[in-house]
């Protein structure tokens, strides 16, 4: 589908307490447990990121959740009654009195066709009714098969239609990168193919021999080199030169994709929208220094320029990547998207980086789209 649709479900007697009890029994018949929670726990949030692409955990955190598990392992979830979401498709019917938001919602492939998904959806819709909502809005459905599934599973009908391209506006962006530039290349290509709504004004690098320059040149994107010669220039002078250079490019968005120079607070304050790619699995609460993983373990939050090295040396079982908003505190901005990656035994830093880059090339353009839909 080239459009997104919002579906609506009337929360009538089909979703009363008897219906909820019946749905729970249907889940139990598949040898799963089902639990309703105020917010998903760390393990479930990380599992959602692992199984469903990396952006839904932030929505689940702001919602109530119904979670199905088999032998203690999550196999499905349904979020409902989200608060504080800013997506453009929630600025119409979703703001009307008596309307509660359903979703995100997902089950593992092994559970599909067993009735788990339909039962989970019913329990969540019953939860909305219990909270006093009269209608449920199933937001941003982009697959005709899902529209048909929701119609059959809970009587959903189409309430609103959106042209995907009308939900976002093209944004002038600057990419800052210090190294090979594989993620910068992915963003530039996505921009030129209109897969993301960015116009890349330039790529800024602080190394004349950075591979990102060749990648930019091959795609016809301007590159700007600003090297810092420490023996001839103070850090303060360089930071000011860098700030004025990027200001002159007039970006609406600055993307840091492997930028290896700590930016001062003055730089951060000068731009309204800065996003950074960081090679670690960051917590959704930026104040925390530990983060939960899909297997239930807790690991330290690896911040700073040597996150992968630190994780490998510690013998950590997990790493990951996150795209987050930039603040004056290093790697503590709010997370737009994050994906965990399990480390293999005896895996060295080089191999980890190679696997992360493969994952990030797909992840970063999707994170940009999440950002664009929230503007």
User: What gap in Å lies between CA 28 and CA 49, rounded to an integer?
Assistant: 25
Give helix then strand counts, H and E, for the chain: 11, 16
Secondary structure, 3-state, 277-327: EECCCCCCCCCCCEEECCCCCEEECCCCCCHHHHHHHHCCCEEEEEEEECC
Single out the residue of 56, 36, 35, 53 nearest to residue 45, CA to CA.
56
Q: Which domain holds residue 238?
A: 167-374
Look up the pTM and report it: 0.95
Q: What is the pLDDT along the chain (375 residues), one digit of tens a residue?
A: 579 999 999 999 999 999 999 999 999 999 999 999 888 899 999 999 999 999 999 999 999 999 999 998 999 999 999 999 999 999 999 999 999 999 999 999 988 888 899 999 999 999 999 999 999 999 999 999 999 999 999 999 999 999 988 899 999 999 999 999 999 999 999 999 999 999 999 999 999 999 999 999 999 999 999 999 999 999 999 999 999 999 999 999 999 999 999 999 999 999 989 999 999 999 999 999 999 999 999 999 999 999 999 999 999 999 999 999 999 899 999 999 999 999 998 899 999 999 999 999 999 999 999 999 998
Contact 179, 208 (CB under 8 A): no
What does DSSP say about strands 171-176 and 198-205: parallel, antiparallel, or unpaired? parallel
Q: Are residues 236 and 353 in the same domain?
A: yes
Q: Are residues 28 and 177 in the same domain?
A: no
First to last CA, the chain: 22
Contact 302, 343 (CB under 8 A): no
Q: Are residues 149 and 239 in the same domain?
A: no
Q: Are residues 260 and 370 in the same domain?
A: yes
Contact 262, 330 (CB under 8 A): yes
Q: Are residues 189 and 210 in the same domain?
A: yes
Alpha helices in 155-202 (DSSP H): 182-192
> Among residues 113, 130, 165, which one ends one of the domains?
165
Total domains in the fold of the chain = 2
User: What gap in Å lies between CA 328 and CA 326, rounded to an integer?
Assistant: 7
Q: Are residues 209 and 258 in the same domain?
A: yes
Q: Are residues 208 and 306 in the same domain?
A: yes
User: What gap in Å lies between CA 317 and CA 281, rounded to an integer?
Assistant: 12
Q: Are residues 158 and 35 in the same domain?
A: yes
Q: Are residues 64 and 187 in the same domain?
A: no
> Among residues 165, 195, 225, which one ends one of the domains?
165
Distances (CA, A) of 297 to 41, 101, 291, 318: 12, 31, 8, 9
Q: Are residues 262 and 128 in the same domain?
A: no
> Among residues 165, 189, 214, which one ends one of the domains?
165
Q: Are residues 72 and 177 in the same domain?
A: no
Single out the residue of 37, 9, 2, 13 nearest to residue 139, CA to CA.
9
- Name the phi and psi angles at 31, rounded to 5: 65, 30
Determine the 3-state secondary structure of 257 from DSSP.
strand
Report the pLDDT value the prediction gives residue 110, as an integer from 0 to 100.
86
Name every residue whose Cβ is closer than 8 Å to that of residue 157 and which is 6 or more positions away in sequence.
Answer: 7, 8, 151
Residue tagged 């911040």 (tokens): 303
Q: Are residues 204 and 324 in the same domain?
A: yes
CATH code for the domain in which residue 109 is found: 3.40.630.30
User: What gap in Å lies between CA 75 and CA 368, rounded to an integer?
Assistant: 28
Contact 339, 278 (CB under 8 A): no
Single out the residue of 254, 273, 320, 307 nearest to residue 54, CA to CA.
320
Single out the residue of 254, 255, 307, 298 nearest to residue 278, CA to CA.
307
CATH code for the domain in which residue 312 is found: 3.40.50.170
Report the pLDDT value the prediction gives residue 1, as an integer from 0 to 100.
56
């Amino acid at each position: 589908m080239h459009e997104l649709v919002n579906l609506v479900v009337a929360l009538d007697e089909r979703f009363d307490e008897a219906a909820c009890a019946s749905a729970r029994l249907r889940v139990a018949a598949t040898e799963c447990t089902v639990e309703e929670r105020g917010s998903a726990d760390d393990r479930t949030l990380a599992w959602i990121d692992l199984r469903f692409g990396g952006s839904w955990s932030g929505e689940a955190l702001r919602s109530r959740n119904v979670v199905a598990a088999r032998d203690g392992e999550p196999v499905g979830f349904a979020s409902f009654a989200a608060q504080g979401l800013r997506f453009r498709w929630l600025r119409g019917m979703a703001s009307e009195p008596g309307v509660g938001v359903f979703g995100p919602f997902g089950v593992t492939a092994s559970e599909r066709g067993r009735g788990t998904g339909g039962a989970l959806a019913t329990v969540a819709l019953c939860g909305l009714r219990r909270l006093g909502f009269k209608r449920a809005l199933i937001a941003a459905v982009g697959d005709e098969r899902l529209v048909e599934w929701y119609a059959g599973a809970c009587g959903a009908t189409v309430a609103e239609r959106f042209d995907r391209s009308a939900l976002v506006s093209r944004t002038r962006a600057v990419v800052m990168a210090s190294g090979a530039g594989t993620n910068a290349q992915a963003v530039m290509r996505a921009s030129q193919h209109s897969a993301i709504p960015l116009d890349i004004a330039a790529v800024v690098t602080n190394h004349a021999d950075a591979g990102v320059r060749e990648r930019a040149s091959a795609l016809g994107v301007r590159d700007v080199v600003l090297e810092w010669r420490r023996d001839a220039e103070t850090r303060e002078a360089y930071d000011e030169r860098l700030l004025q250079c990027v200001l002159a490019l007039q970006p609406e968005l600055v993307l840091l994709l492997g930028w290896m120079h700590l930016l001062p607070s003055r730089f951060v304050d000068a731009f309204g929208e800065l996003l950074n790619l960081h090679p670690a699995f960051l917590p959704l609460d930026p104040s925390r220094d530990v983060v939960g993983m899909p297997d239930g373990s807790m690991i330290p939050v690896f911040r700073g320029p040597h996150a992968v090295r630190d994780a490998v040396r510690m013998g950590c079982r997990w790493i990951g990547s996150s795209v987050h908003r930039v603040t004056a505190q290093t790697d503590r901005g709010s997370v737009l998207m994050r994906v965990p990656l399990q480390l293999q035994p005896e895996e060295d830093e080089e191999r980890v980086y190679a696997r992360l880059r493969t994952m990030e090339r797909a992840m970063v353009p999707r994170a940009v789209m999440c950002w664009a839909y929230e503007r």
